[in-house]
Structure 1
Amino acid sequence: MDEKNNLSFKESRILHVTASILIVTFLCSAVPEWYTPQFIMNGVVSIILIIIIVLAWRLVELKARYFSIQSYCLLFSLSFLFAQPIIKYFWQAGNSSWIFLLGIWIAGFVITTFLKENLFQAFSKTFENRFSVAFHIVVFICITVGPLLIILGNANDFNQNISYGLVLYLFSALLQIMLPEFLKHPKDI
């Protein structure tokens, strides 16, 4: 049977998650250089996520459901913020690649939200169906390609902002893939 959500404020980890979200918001708004309108946008998104976490702590009945909502909000903020440095870099450089990267991020978010049941099955029943196998192969390729981008970027005197931005964008995509699983209600698991 699921435990009731009778968490105290200290047990709820709201301060820890809030500090994490705010620190990453500040850092990602400053990379590759500070841009106040972006910080305001990121701040608004972060505050909305923190409000959702506090409301979930007060209103959600099950402890497991509260922590899954909290995890979703934290991972969404990281995914949202990690995608921004490379998009901002290309936008400020006058390169239209930022539109493509932003479009991919938005499409990825929509697609993973619609495929949340398949993604949940890929995590819970590892390698038991084709989707799970394909998913794990893609994730493995992404995890191995990320460090190679940094190595190649530094070896060929590739712009470090681009190489680190691409790695953060890759992490954003991986986090985005994991997001929908946290929307699953404990009773449905």
Structure 2
Amino acid sequence: MEPFRTLRSRTVVLARQNIDTDQIIPARFLKITHRAGLGRWLFADWRYQPDGSPRPDFILEQPEARGARVLVAGDNFGCGSSREHAPWALVDWGFRAVISSSIADIFSNNAVKNGLLPVRVDAGFHGRLLAEPGAEVTIDLEHCAVRLADGTEATFPLDPFARYCLMNGVDELGFLLGQQEAITRFEEARP
């Protein structure tokens, strides 16, 4: 996983509320167990016509979305069933963070374990981001803050262990493997 400390990016705004994991990555794409290539199917039912051709009016098909690493979504993002494929698809497309005023807990847990930062901000700051598609933001994970170009800033909560893992580019298993010397010393000292 790529370490996450500071991210500066334009935003992509998808203002719909209650975007569930089946909308993020429809169930028919859950047959694979690897992450690569899932970005192609991100928001597939909204992004593609029934014949498979892209909907040119969908935000991810717009030129201004290319290269953006921050998704600003409506309230209650990531609700629904637990599936790691949802953050996998977002990360594979190129997103490193999702900002909303509310993000489902199960989605948040899956996200941080897969290198995607869930950023919960207050309603006023969120409303401003929704109203300014393509805004330049800087996310500072060390201080758990997101800043707009004019200096307006909002802080966000994040579990300290999840923050540590994201900042160091490790998942839970990587963290445990990094503790091998301490584990060995502990085991050797046990009677």
TM range (shorter): under 0.3
Higher strand share: 2
Higher helix share: 1
